Amino acid sequence: MSLPVDILLVVLKYLTLQDFVAFSQASKHFYEITQLRSVWLDLLNHHVLQRSYPIPRLDGRDPTQLRVSELQSCIIDALRLRRLWTAASPQPLQRRTFTTQNVDGLCPLTLTTTNDERIYTAQCWDISPAQPLCVARRRVSSFGGLRVNTDGSYPGVLALKSHNTVEILGIDFTAGQGFFAVQVLEDVTETLHVFANSKLLTKFNDQRLHLRDLQKPHSVMELRNSNFIEQRECLDALISDVYAVLIRTTSLEIYSITSDRPISEPLASHAWQWRIDSVSVNYQPSYQNNTIAPINLLVRYSSLFPWPVNALHHYVIPRNSHYDAQQDISPNNLPYETRPALIQSFASPIRLFARWDMVLGKYGTALWIDSHTEDYFANSVEGQRLAGVLFSISEDEGEKVDLRELVASSHASTVYDVREDDGWMRIAVDDEEGKIALGTTTGEITLLEYI
């Protein structure tokens, strides 16, 4: 006597994918059950979405609206990328290198010199073709900074400063030059710092911070901590519609940005035990879009020497379980706890005058360049390692220890690549599509693709 279909559907939720395949091959009746769209939606939800795994090649589509064959492809791609991405030494399925045009060195811009006048060029490249193609180009004679919008839903994708003017640029892939001005801000003397949706954070002399909402460009709010006689440098920030989380060299600060006041003081702050040299910050991945996500921090501290501390630290800023999003943010209604939790530390040595970089992807991939190459090139005086780790989703209390007594407790779980010289300058990661980009001193860009 066979079980009712509704009972079988419940059983399928508890099977591994291998058992699910075996179940589908047991009989024609079982195979027909496994072709139900609701079954594959449950599998996608259980094995991918609830674990906050990225789904490559989704291209903005709603998973709940996909056909059975598309759901199957999503599950296969997501699990394959996860397996390759977290291997000890993953081999890219494709490795492509191309050279930007008229480059003397790779930064967020390109540089040429003509008749003692410098022309700076910002470029956007389409990497989907077999041969990457430059689809947008903007040249300026006076360069004052460039920032890419961290929120792709806003029409302006790039902020570019020239003289005392900031251009908010969109991209028209059918036009000759590609870039077009969405908005122009005049008389901006500060340096561009963070561009998030319609919010633009600028800083003056690495100290004074001004926040603009591009929907109200003439209204400027200064984010100031009056506890400091001289404002400490802000290294990075996460900015939403209602709050800003600032990571300074000596403190972490939470601001409310909903008022029209010209000056906003932090509602809460945390003093770092040591001075921070550099930081990368991003939200933890979460399939629940209706909640505030905890924040991941990848931190490297400064030292008394000309190079930073030879360790990286993973912190999590936990969300405040008592936060009420329907109420205004206040000292008694904060979106996040004020004390970051130290989760783990990683050995990451840096040689004197060596080039290094680090980045934190939106799905929890921490990626860095360091000088730990002894396992590959013996006692070489040069060499770089591209290493990383995938942060687990956690809001644990972490280790409440003195950093002066802390030994790096972990090592990079993944080594993506090594080289015998110090040619790498910058890295970027798209852990949703399984791509890593490496920029070099010679203007070359190398793409590592894992799916």
267/243 Cα distance (integer angstroms) = 10
Assigned token pair, 158: 């790039």
CA 442, distance to chain mean position in Å, is: 25
Assigned token pair, 48: 């991918």
CA 178, distance to chain mean position in Å, is: 25
Q: Do the bridges between strand 110-114 and strand 191-196 make them parallel or antiparallel, or are there none, so unpaired? A: unpaired
Please report the pLDDT score of residue 177 as a whole number: 72
Please report the pLDDT score of residue 201 as a whole number: 96
Please report the pLDDT score of residue 116 as a whole number: 52
Q: What angle do CA 406, 409, 413 make, to 5 degrees?
A: 150
- DSSP single-letter state for residue 47: I
Please report the pLDDT score of residue 394 as a whole number: 61
Please report the pLDDT score of residue 294 as a whole number: 94
Q: CB of 319 within 8 A of CB of 313?
A: no
Burial class (CB in 10 A: 0-12, 13-18, 19+), 350: buried
DSSP per-residue letters across 124-164: EEE-SSSS-EEEEEEEESS--EEEE-S-TTSS--EEEEETT
Q: Which has the closest alpha carbon to 139: 164, 169, 97?
A: 169
Q: Do the bridges between strand 243-248 and strand 276-283 make them parallel or antiparallel, or are there none, so unpaired? A: unpaired
Q: CB of 95 within 8 A of CB of 434?
A: no
Please report the pLDDT score of residue 107 as a whole number: 45
- Which parts of the chain register pLDDT below 50? 1, 103-107, 109-113, 396-408
CATH 1.20.1280 at 5-85, yes or no: yes
In the chain, list all ranges with CATH 1.20.1280.
5-85
Q: State pTM to two decimals.
A: 0.87
Q: Show Cβ contacts of residue 10 under 8 Å, excluding neighbours closer than 6 positions.
A: none
168/159 Cα distance (integer angstroms) = 5
Q: CB of 249 within 8 A of CB of 274?
A: no
Please report the pLDDT score of residue 206 as a whole number: 66
The single-letter code of the amino acid at 393 is I
| C-alpha separations of 193 from 185, 210, 443 in Å | 15, 10, 24
